[in-house]
Amino acid sequence: MRLQSYLLPSLLLTVLPAAAQQPVPRLQIDTATIVRPASPGLYGLMTEEINHSYEGGLYAQLISNNTFRGNWMSVEEWGLAIKGDAQATSQVDPKDGPSAALPESLELKVASASPSSPAGVSNPGYWGIAVRPHTTYTGSFYAEAAPEIGPVTVSLIANQSGAVLASALVALAGSGWRNYAFQLHTGQTESSSQNHFELTVAHPGTLHLQLVTLFPPTFNDQPNGDRPDLMEKLAAMHPTFLRLPGGNYLEGNSIKERFDWEKTIGPLVDRPGHQGPWGYWSTDQFGLLEFLDWTEDLHVEPVLAVYAGYSLKGEHVNPGKDLEPYVQSALDEVEYVTGDAHTRWGAERARDGHPAPFPLHYIEIGNEDWFDRSGTYPARFAQFAEALRKQYPQYKLIATGPVQEKPGDQPDVVDDHYYKSPEQMFALVHHYDAAPRTGPKVFVGEWATVSATPTPDFGDALGDAAWMTGMERNSDLIQIASYAPLFVNVHDDAWTTNLIGYDANSSYGSPSYYAQCLFAAHMGDAIPQSSLTGVSPSARFFYSVTESRQKRVLHLKLVNATTLAQPLELALENAGAGEHVATVYSLHGATFAATNTLQSPTAIHPVQSSQHFNGTDLKLTVPALTIEVIDLPLK
């Protein structure tokens, strides 16, 4: 996150017009009277394979359709690369592949080729391949080739000029399927995504190909790893958890298309992939262990959602005997995540390269099971809960729909979802204020102010910030919360409003992204007594206040979602005498429609300033269309 300082903060505050209201509204806070605990781990992340979040997004692998899915016309994404008078054809061979999981391959039949007229195939990447200067790309492919075909040339080529930006020769050895690795080194070149990948040969013959991969440098240099720019943006959100693997992506359109975790682990060549619910195929090369590595890289915990026997188009598994294999699969999955290397699935995880267990506190049973019209969720939940609680009593269970009221079947937490317009979000800010505190805790597992596409504009950010003040005020009840969806490749905005946008080359955080970075970075563990007077309850002015008791800091969030500046007197009790210096982080949009884009990635971003106050009162003016986070040190 980039922070800048106000050059002339006091001038800026005085030139803005103030609302013609008398008397000046007053926010009174007694820092010594704690009314509720707050959840310091409130803010987390939720993602799934939607909008090319992983393949074509976070997952750094650059070749699209790298397992050669074909339709009756062609091999999707791949084209022929024919130079000079070379001649070749390509098609999917359904009967020849390197593994049981990938039983098919691309068959390239080269009738004529020479070193000056090579023939092969080309791949455009995910709407381009980002190539950067002086960079090493690592790749691999499986091939089965006739000996006469000679070595394979792999290259990165500029689309417009045809210039070869990096190239390597890979010798093929013997017959049968083998895996080949290569590296491509770029020299001095422009950073651009207007490039493609080619794999060619210089002699006639037949070549079968499967599982072609190409990686730029990844975050923390993790093999099979993630895009650094996106990981850095996530780290700046100060998340405490990652809800995985979905969302609808957990459920699939049908039972067959669910996230079947066992098929997403182990060597990539043993992962068959599956049809995702958001319109495209998932290779599962970004599978369960890659999700978990991702949590580790971000120093967060997984919130593990297990498939619970309901899929999006209405298929369900009956509770009882039919459900037993799914319950067992969930138990095994929890063991894969948390078991030590002596357990069956812990040992499997160790073989997959991660001997240490991952931390876990929450298990979510299904996703949005309130949509299940079969009425089986209460019994399905109860069956999962009984088995999970028997083996893993230490974990908190999250329900995703109404469940039975019988004692013992109660979830520890319920997952509530909100996708609302800015107006609806403003109206919902006090939704949880009077909610009972005697039942399960709340996980707001998906929430977003939804109007602009592909990412939120400043009006949406105001809705989000207002909503976050409500979640913070109720964070004794709302333990954890995650915005959704997190990612969008701007070439595939299947979902309207998404937090972080990108293409092959670069990424940007929306105004809502910056609002969340600020709110999460300045979150306390207690809620002091406070009251606001002089502001109409219908005014679009919102606040929350939490306190970090150990650090002795008050975190005040103020949201002015109107076009008039809002004067405010802050009356502090028990903050300590003498001069204090408050740090003010301000996020401002010129209009509701103002936003960030790939071309203007930080048009709206937080600016930092400081303000002196005497420990008891502070006069503020929150500018129009502004979200402010103020840290007030207590003495």
Which positions touch ligand AHR (CB under 6 A)?
A: 48, 50, 246-248, 367-368, 446, 484-485, 495
Shortest distance, position 495 Cβ to ligand AHR, whole Å? 5
Shortest distance, position 343 Cβ to ligand AHR, whole Å? 31
Shortest distance, position 80 Cβ to ligand AHR, whole Å? 37
Both tokens of residue 380? 């399905």
Shortest distance, position 312 Cβ to ligand AHR, whole Å? 9
Shortest distance, position 456 Cβ to ligand AHR, whole Å? 14
Query: What gap in Å lies between CA 413 and CA 411, rounded to an integer?
Result: 5
Opening angle at CA 252, ends 249 and 255, nearest 5 = 145
Shortest distance, position 277 Cβ to ligand AHR, whole Å? 8
Please say which residue, 413 or 484, places its beta carbon nearer to ligand AHR.
Answer: 484
Chain residue whose CB lies nearest ligand AHR: 247
Please say which residue, 54 or 613, places its beta carbon nearer to ligand AHR.
Answer: 54
| Long-range contact pairs involving 157-165 (C-beta distance under 8 Å, separation at least 24) | 157/122, 157/195, 157/196, 157/197, 157/198, 158/131, 158/189, 158/192, 158/194, 158/195, 159/128, 159/194, 159/195, 159/196, 160/194, 165/131, 165/189, 165/195
Please say which residue, 488 or 515, places its beta carbon nearer to ligand AHR.
Answer: 488
- Compute the half-sphere exposure of residue 195: CA atoms within 13 Å on the CB side of its CA: 24
Please say which residue, 246 or 319, places its beta carbon nearer to ligand AHR.
Answer: 246
Shortest distance, position 76 Cβ to ligand AHR, whole Å? 24
Please say which residue, 50 or 92, places its beta carbon nearer to ligand AHR.
Answer: 50
**Beta carbons of 547 and 583 less than 8 angstroms apart:** no
**Beta carbons of 449 and 464 less than 8 angstroms apart:** yes
Please say which residue, 497 or 595, places its beta carbon nearer to ligand AHR.
Answer: 497
Shortest distance, position 487 Cβ to ligand AHR, whole Å? 11
Please say which residue, 209 or 312, places its beta carbon nearer to ligand AHR.
Answer: 312
Please say which residue, 367 or 475, places its beta carbon nearer to ligand AHR.
Answer: 367
Shortest distance, position 596 Cβ to ligand AHR, whole Å? 20
Query: What gap in Å lies between CA 247 and CA 278, rounded to an integer?
Result: 11
Please say which residue, 197 or 241, places its beta carbon nearer to ligand AHR.
Answer: 241
- Specify burial of residue 398 (Cβ count, 10 A radius: 0-12, 13-18, 19+): buried
Phi, psi angles (nearest 5°) of residue 593: -85, -10
Shortest distance, position 448 Cβ to ligand AHR, whole Å? 8
Please say which residue, 367 or 469, places its beta carbon nearer to ligand AHR.
Answer: 367
Query: What gap in Å lies between CA 276 and CA 284, rounded to an integer?
Result: 10
Opening angle at CA 406, ends 402 and 407, nearest 5 = 115
Ramachandran assignment for 333, one of left (phi > 0), alpha (psi -120 to 50 degrees), beta (any other)? alpha
Residues 6+ apart with CB under 8 A from 439: 410
Q: What is the 3-state secondary structure (H, E, C) of 53-122?
A: CCECCCECCCCCCCCCCECCCCECCCEEEECCCCEEEEEEECCCCCCCCCCCEEEEEEEECECCECEEEE
Query: What gap in Å lies between CA 460 and CA 448, rounded to an integer?
Result: 8
Please say which residue, 346 or 501, places its beta carbon nearer to ligand AHR.
Answer: 501
Shortest distance, position 250 Cβ to ligand AHR, whole Å? 8
Please say which residue, 367 or 611, places its beta carbon nearer to ligand AHR.
Answer: 367
Query: What gap in Å lies between CA 596 and CA 134, rounded to an integer?
Result: 30
DSSP string, 315-346: -B--TTGGGHHHHHHHHHHHHHHH--TTSHHH
Shortest distance, position 207 Cβ to ligand AHR, whole Å? 40
